[in-house]
Amino acid sequence: MKKATVVIPNYNGKNFLYPCMEALRRQTYTDFEVLIVDNGSSDGSPELIREMEGSFPFPVKGIFLSENTGFSGAVNAGIGAASGEYVVLLNNDTEAEPGYLEALCRELNADREGRVFAVTPKMIQLYHKDLLDDAGDGYNLLGWGFQRGVGQPVTAKAYNRRRQVFSACAGAAAYRRELLLKLALPGTSRDPECFDLQHFAYLEDIDLSYRARIRGYRILYCPEAEVYHVGSGTSGSRYNAFKVRLAARNNVYLNYKNMPLLQLLINLPGILLGVLIKQLFFLRIGFGKEYGKGFLEGLRTLPACRKVPFSWKNLPHYAAIELRLLADTFSYAGDFLRRRLQKKEEQERS
């Protein structure tokens, strides 16, 4: 039995798998196994995964699903089959630095009380290695999930400090398996439904982290754990019709499921403002129809959501979440202004 299980979800990502696995071969931490969960790929991925079994110095096993169950379905299958105390979720379009797993597991090992739910690494843009991709995920009063530090220099001091963040990015984060199972949603799925199957893909990691925060668990950002990330390796682009629609729909689910009525009413003006701003943004770039469809689909299918039961004992945690939403609003604004200034400077230089 290995200490950590690395779960790699894959859907038609054959070209990414070898670089991802070779980076794991170079890890300084060796007490891990790898589960590659194939989501019904048609690009030859299953054959390649079978070739990889037994070809690495660590155990490798393929799990082959008959259809695309989305990110949520794939990683749930991996979590269900994992034997490690820690579960590391790793996108197929990543290449981890040698000390990546060691740094993540060191943080979890140091938490003797078991209150750290997840540790998220410093994600760096693979094709622009001087720029950050994600320094932990935030969530603000507009109802927007966002990547902290995206587009900022990797040397920026603000993103080279260990700190708590709202959410771990499930593209490369380590989780305590015991707590994942504890937070699993009730349902009829064969595998533990840690990530909500209703989400399919997008914002499912923030939804899970929100549930963990309601219970008072912490989520840490570890800048010593570095991983390079292509980004949108499966969907193919930062914005596309499928991604915009699902993200808009899942945003509705995220707020409704996790906020008790009073918190939802308090935050509703900001959330509606956030919806309006995003609708206008997507109209401008040609995806306004898809965003509107996703938002309306979310409202229409709300009865199917499994809302987190409210408990008075979690009231201090809800208050802490509200303060974090406020802090992340300023954090997002700061990141946005820095990106605008950088863009202006680049335009002036050119």
Asked if the model's pLDDT at residue 48 lies above 60, the reply is yes
Q: For 124-139, how does the pLDDT look when each residue is reduced to its tens digit (9 = 90+)?
A: 999 999 999 999 999 9
Q: What is the pLDDT of residue 216?
A: 97
CB neighbour class for 40 (10 Å; exposed up to 12, middle 13-18, buried from 19): middle
d(CA 120, CA 51): 30
Q: What percent of the chain has pLDDT over 90?
A: 91
Q: What is the pLDDT of residue 188?
A: 76
Q: Tell me the domains of the chain and their CATH numbers.
A: 4-229 (3.90.550.10), 241-349 (no CATH)
Mean pLDDT is lowest, of 67-76, 266-275, 298-307, 332-341, for 332-341
SS3 87: strand
Q: Which helix (H) or strand (E) holds 147?
A: strand 145-147
d(CA 32, CA 256): 37
Asked if the model's pLDDT at residue 237 lies above 80, the reply is no
Average pLDDT (163-182) is 97
Q: What is the pLDDT of residue 1?
A: 77
Q: For 59-72, how does the pLDDT look when each residue is reduced to its tens digit (9 = 90+)?
A: 999 999 999 999 99
Cβ pair 143, 255 in contact under 8 A: yes
Average pLDDT (148-167) is 95
Q: For 176-212, how does the pLDDT look when each residue is reduced to its tens digit (9 = 90+)?
A: 999 999 999 988 788 999 999 999 999 999 999 999 9
Compute the C-alpha angle 103/209/85, nearest 5°. 45
